Chains A and B, each alone.
Chain A
């Protein structure tokens, strides 16, 4: 979905080839989200099938894609519609901490600290990229800030878990939920 919309946005700037589109995408996102060429071509084929883009017929090279009016409408609609996260994704770290609680062979606080350290190291790396980056490349800064805030949120959540853990000095068996809680739908 976001790949399709990114390709539409790039094609809206100018007609282009699959490989070039891949390179442009990685350039704009600083290579943080690598994209393989195969994925680009399958997505282009789908966009073509849906009537959003076409291969330029007059061109000798069949692989030059260009935007169609329907694609332009779809793109505008995408920009105008708030991005929704319908269901929380299954998160390996959350699962790990939840499962660590019931165990007698390890201390959940140690798991929290190891994860926090890793998250802060990741933050240090992102921040280094930001320090080295030019102030003027706004798109790049948007992307880095987004990654930074996500990692920060993770650390704050870990801090909160630790805080709860130290305040709940109960025997381990009491930590397990005594009744099933309201179900939250989770994407697999």
Chain B
């Protein structure tokens, strides 16, 4: 069973002559242990795909299953719990809460879930140290650089035990080395048995994935084949 299974998903915004088809018959499965990258130009439907996978948006047609549960069949409270406990989401616009410190932002999903304050902070610090920002724990988002805010958002998405990690351009404001450490993190999440989807238009970061899916005008038009072992590079051409 795939951790995420989207089948024939179509998403149409609006109706009539102003209708925009953001996704068209998209089928995408992500297994445990897998990191899948979605690449495509601006407006090709990447964010739409990710929001539907994360239960933030509903498909016009098609089905979305997370850990075997059909999302559209869940009651709002069940969906909210699934999103809090099982799905980590890194937003393109980060969505950090200004009135909370970095650590409070990170521990929020756990606290909403009833985890004690002390224990939640401990988990937050662990997630923050994984992205190298534990010393920023008590700073507020507006006092952080763009790259630091991005790492807080990643820590928030990875805190606790999430099976599905969805990241929308998580390397946007980062330099090459820091961007690479974010990819090592997503890779590590998959290698530890999680499933991750990374949206990016940067091939250098997409290349960390097991599979790269190409999106054009809301359709999956192509995907990379599982690359052969690195040995094939070492043969003279």
Q: A: which residues have CB within 8 A of B?
A: 30-32, 34, 113, 116-117, 119-129, 131-132, 148-149, 151-152, 155-156, 159, 162-163
B234 close to chain A: CB less than 8 A: yes
Residue of A nearest to B40 (CB): A159
SS class, residues of chain A in contact with chain B: helix
Does B73 reach chain A (CB closer than 8 Å)? no
- The CA-CA distance from A92 to B208 in the complex, in Å, is 27
- Interface residue stretch chosen among B17-25, B122-130, B219-227: B219-227
Bitwise interface map of B from 164 to 188 toward A, beta carbon under 8 Å scored 1, else 0: 0000000000000000000000010
Contact for B41 among A120, A123, A128, A159, CB less than 8 A: A159
Which of chain A's residues have a CB closer than 8 A to the CB of B214?
113, 116-117
Can you list 24 contacts pairing A with B, beta carbon distance less than 8 Å? A32-B234, A116-B214, A117-B214, A117-B222, A117-B224, A120-B39, A120-B203, A120-B207, A121-B224, A123-B203, A123-B207, A124-B209, A124-B227, A125-B227, A125-B232, A125-B233, A128-B227, A128-B230, A129-B230, A152-B202, A152-B203, A152-B204, A159-B41, A162-B41
Alpha-carbon separation in the docked complex, A14 to B209 (Å): 42
In the complex, the chain B residue whose C-beta lies closest to that of A33 is: B236
Name the distance in Å between A138's Cβ and chain B's nearest Cβ.
Answer: 13
Q: Are A113 and B222 in touch, CB under 8 angstroms?
A: yes
Residues of B within 8 A of A120 (CB): 39, 203, 206-207, 212, 224
Among the listed A119, A129, A162, which residue makes an inter-chain contact with B203, where contact means beta carbons less than 8 Å apart?
A: A119
